[in-house]
């Protein structure tokens, strides 16, 4: 059985406090992300009723929020009181390539990008346009 990636450690090692990025370690982070069977995208009662992903305004930009596992999503949803009437965190899952296609289809929206593991220690993000380029980039490097 494969060991689950430690996304907190991978992100911490990739994105330094001084703003610099270790590209090789960043490649490992993105590779591990794209090897997951699915990503967990936050929904809200309103977004569910509208049939759309929840979009959050953070740092003056609009983002979709994705998580590497349901526990990290539940932590965010509970912390932000972003739960349904019965106290459940709402989410949809997408396989990584489905998420890439969704990002490609969303480029015309006012959404800037995707924030991964928001409110967790060492979350990270990608603009939508960059997210659509990662599969080819990782494949060229032999990382997926």
Average pLDDT over residues 102-131: 95
For residue 15, what are the CA distances in angstroms to 11, 23, 25, 62, 136? 6, 9, 9, 21, 22
Question: Which pLDDT score, from 0 to 100, does residue 3 have?
Answer: 56
Average pLDDT over residues 63-83: 94
Mean pLDDT of the chain: 94
pTM, entire model:
0.93
Share of the chain above pLDDT 90, in %: 85
Question: Which pLDDT score, from 0 to 100, does residue 140 have?
Answer: 97
Q: Write the pLDDT tens digit of every residue in 24-66.
A: 999 999 999 999 999 999 999 889 999 999 999 999 999 999 9
Question: Which pLDDT score, from 0 to 100, does residue 1 have?
Answer: 37
DSSP per residue over 21-79, as a string? B-HHHHHHHHHHHHHSS-EEEEE-HHHHHHTS--EEEETTEEEEEEESSHHHHHHHHHH
Share of the chain above pLDDT 70, in %: 98
Residue 69 has pLDDT above 70, yes or no: yes
Question: Which pLDDT score, from 0 to 100, does residue 96 have?
Answer: 98
Question: Which pLDDT score, from 0 to 100, does residue 16 have?
Answer: 87
Residue 87 has pLDDT above 80, yes or no: yes
Question: Which pLDDT score, from 0 to 100, does residue 19 have?
Answer: 85
Residue 107 has pLDDT above 60, yes or no: yes
């Amino acid at each position: 059985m494969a060991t689950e990636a430690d996304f907190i450690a991978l992100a911490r090692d990739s994105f330094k406090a001084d703003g610099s990025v270790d590209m090789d370690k960043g490649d490992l982070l993105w590779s591990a992300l794209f090897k997951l069977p699915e990503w967990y995208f936050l929904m809200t009662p309103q977004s569910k009723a509208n049939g759309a992903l929840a979009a959050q305004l953070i740092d003056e930009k609009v983002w979709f929020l994705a998580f590497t596992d349901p526990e990290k999503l539940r932590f965010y949803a509970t912390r932000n009181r972003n739960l349904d009437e019965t106290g459940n965190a709402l989410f949809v899952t997408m396989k990584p390539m489905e998420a890439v296609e969704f990002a490609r289809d969303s480029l015309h929206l006012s959404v800037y990008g995707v924030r991964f593991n928001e409110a967790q220690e060492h979350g990270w993000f990608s603009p939508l346009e960059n997210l659509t380029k990662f599969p080819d980039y990782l494949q060229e490097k032999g990382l997926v």
